[in-house]
C-alpha cells in the first residue's frame, strides 16, 4: 500500500513538472514567434524591404528586431526596428556574416559559436558573436559591421554554486 502511494505521488509530481515545463516552453516559443511576426510586419510596412531573408533580435542597451532582406530592385538591406524607431541601411558595404563566422572559427577554433546577430549601440553597428569556450566561459565579440575588426570583447564566467 505504501509503495502505491509513493509511486502515485511520484507520477503526480512528474506530471505537474511536465505540465509546468511545457507551459514555460510554449510561452517562450510563443513570445519569440510574436516578436518575429511583429518584426516582419514592421519591416514590410515601415521600410523598403519587400523580401525578408532573416529576422533576429539584438539585446543590448536597447532591444531591436533586426530584419535583413531585399528591396524591390534586389538590393540587400538591413533594419533595426523598435516600436518607435527605425535605423535602416544597405548591406552593400557590410562585412558578410560568413566572413565574421570564418574569422571567429579561425581565432577561436575550440569554441562553439552560439549566435551571430547584427547589433547596434548608438551609431555603432557591429556583428555580435556569442561563443562558449572549452572552459565554459561565454565570450562576446563585436566585429565592426563595415571594417570587420574586433571593437569590443568581454568574457562572462559562469558561477559554480556547488563549490
Q: What is the pLDDT of residue 156?
A: 87
Mean residue pLDDT across the chain: 85
Closest CA to 117 of 92, 136, 151, 143: 143
Residue 27 belongs to a domain: yes
Q: What is the mean pLDDT of residues 93-111?
A: 96
Residue 162 lies in a domain: no
108-153 per-position pLDDT tens digit: 999 999 999 999 999 999 999 999 999 899 999 999 999 999 999 9
The pLDDT of 31-37, averaged and rounded, is 85
User: How does pLDDT run across 62-92, given as a tens digit for each residue?
Assistant: 999 999 999 999 999 999 999 999 999 999 9
Indicate the pTM of the whole model: 0.75
Asked whether residue 8 falls in the same domain as residue 75, the answer is yes
Give the residue carrying C-alpha cell 509503495.
3
- Contact by Cβ (8 Å): 46, 81: yes
Shared domain check, 76 and 138 = no
Together in a domain, 59 and 133: no
Give the domain extent around 61. 2-90
Note the pLDDT of residue 2.
72
d(CA 92, CA 155): 31
Domain count, the chain: 2
Q: What is the CATH number of the domain that holds 133?
A: 3.10.450.40
Q: Based on the domain organization, do 84 and 7 belong to the same domain? A: yes
Q: Are the CB atoms for 79 and 88 separated by under 8 Å?
A: yes
Residue 12 has pLDDT above 70, yes or no: no
Placement of cell 531585399 in the chain: 70
Q: Do 74 and 107 share a domain, yes or no?
A: no
| Burial group, residue 162, by CB count within 10 angstroms (0-12, 13-18, 19+) | exposed
CA dist 51 and 74 (Å) reads 9
Q: How confident is the model at residue 13 (pLDDT cuts 50, 70, 90)?
A: low
Instruction: State the pLDDT at residue 65.
Output: 96
Amino acid at each position: 500500500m505504501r509503495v502505491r502511494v509513493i509511486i502515485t505521488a511520484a507520477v503526480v509530481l512528474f506530471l505537474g513538472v511536465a505540465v509546468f515545463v511545457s507551459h514555460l516552453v510554449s510561452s517562450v516559443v510563443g513570445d519569440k514567434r510574436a516578436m518575429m511576426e511583429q518584426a516582419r510586419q514592421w519591416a514590410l510596412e515601415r521600410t523598403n524591404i519587400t523580401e525578408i531573408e532573416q529576422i533576429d533580435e539584438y539585446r543590448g542597451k536597447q532591444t531591436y528586431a533586426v530584419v535583413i532582406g531585399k528591396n524591390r530592385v534586389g538590393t540587400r538591406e538591413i533594419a533595426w526596428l523598435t516600436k518607435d524607431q527605425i535605423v535602416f541601411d544597405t548591406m552593400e558595404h557590410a562585412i558578410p556574416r560568413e566572413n565574421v563566422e570564418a574569422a571567429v572559427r579561425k581565432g577561436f577554433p575550440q569554441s562553439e559559436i552560439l549566435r551571430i546577430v547584427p547589433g547596434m549601440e548608438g551609431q555603432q553597428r557591429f556583428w555580435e558573436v556569442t561563443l562558449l569556450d572549452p572552459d565554459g566561459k561565454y565570450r562576446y565579440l563585436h566585429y565592426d559591421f563595415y571594417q570587420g575588426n574586433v571593437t569590443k570583447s568581454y568574457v562572462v564566467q559562469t558561477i559554480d554554486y556547488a563549490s
